[in-house]
Amino acid sequence: MTRLVHTGNVIVDVALTVDELPERGSDVLASSSSIQVGGAFNTLAAAARDGLEAVHVGARGTGPFASLVADALSREGIRATGPVGDVDTGYSVVLIDRDAERTFVTHTGAEALLTTQDLDRTVLVPGDTVAVSGYSLAHSPGVVGPWAAGLPAGIVVVFDPSPLVGTLDPDDLDGVLQRADIVTANTREARILGPRLDAVHRLVVRAGADGCWLRARGETSARRIAGFPVRALDTTGAGDTHCGVLCAALARGESLESAARRANAAASIAVGRQGPATAPVSAEIDALLASAAGPA
């Protein structure tokens, strides 16, 4: 049985809804707030809800936020096999504006303490999908990147460069890009990576309401997979939902085009809900795909 094995950071999101971002030195009142588990949890939960076994091998902490993380992983049936440190899990302050766009300020915690020795203890089997996030490369430079780059054939590596892509160590970044079977990025991240993406095996560029674009190595043009109309309430975790469902569909043997369409559907459902981990279950995705296909 294949699995999604995620090296990324499972942290806590302190989310605040505002009309617009405050000016420097000013103050604004939030119309709503929530404290939820996010980060790599969003991807793991999305995959698990779509039927793929999910395992978290990143570092976790000890403390109030770490307890929230442990409870959330347990509720979703996600196994946590990574090390546990003696400091608390980190958190991210998420500001969500009237256009449903989100802006993050993140404080790292135990998730940044992952070591090469920790990863070397991870047992992988052929067919497993290893998800690598740019956040992991940023918080653990020289650790996750070289480990992922050296994974053997038979392990599927999916790389999401994250909003921090422009700050990543070039050696870590290039090693993972060259090893990755699939790179999934949003349009901003793809623009920052630029020519680095030319040698990527298979590329998925997420384009929000427009769906996503696919390109394989050697192709001169990309193919668009249409999105699904939706009124977005909160885009937090939409890319993670897309990535998790993409991994689940590919693990079941679907083509990249079919998996991308399913991921688009899942992301469209997720952005219509408030919160980070709002990925739908399989039946909800199936229903949307069936309704979009029309009568038989």
**Is 277 part of any domain?**
yes
What is the model's pLDDT at position 275? 73
Percentage with pLDDT > 70 across the chain: 98
Mean pLDDT, the chain, rounded, equals 94
Question: What is the rounded average pLDDT of the residues 193-213?
Answer: 95
Which domain does 51 fall in, by range? 3-22+30-290
**Is 295 part of any domain?**
no
The band of 294, judged by pLDDT with boundaries at 50, 70 and 90, is: low
pLDDT tens for 21-74 read 999 999 999 999 999 999 899 999 999 999 999 999 999 999 999 999 999 999
**Is 296 part of any domain?**
no
Per-residue pLDDT at 154 exceeds 50: yes
What is the model's pLDDT at position 104? 87
Question: What is the rounded average pLDDT of the residues 261-265?
Answer: 98
> CATH code at 183?
3.40.1190.20
Q: Which residues, including other chains, have CB under 8 Å from residue 171's CB and lie 6 or more apart?
A: 145
What is the model's pLDDT at position 295? 53
pLDDT tens for 70-115 read 999 999 999 999 999 999 999 999 898 988 888 889 899 999 999 9
**Is 182 part of any domain?**
yes
Count up the domains in the chain and report the number.
1
The band of 293, judged by pLDDT with boundaries at 50, 70 and 90, is: confident
Question: What is the rounded average pLDDT of the residues 182-204?
Answer: 96
What is the model's pLDDT at position 1? 65
**Is 36 part of any domain?**
yes
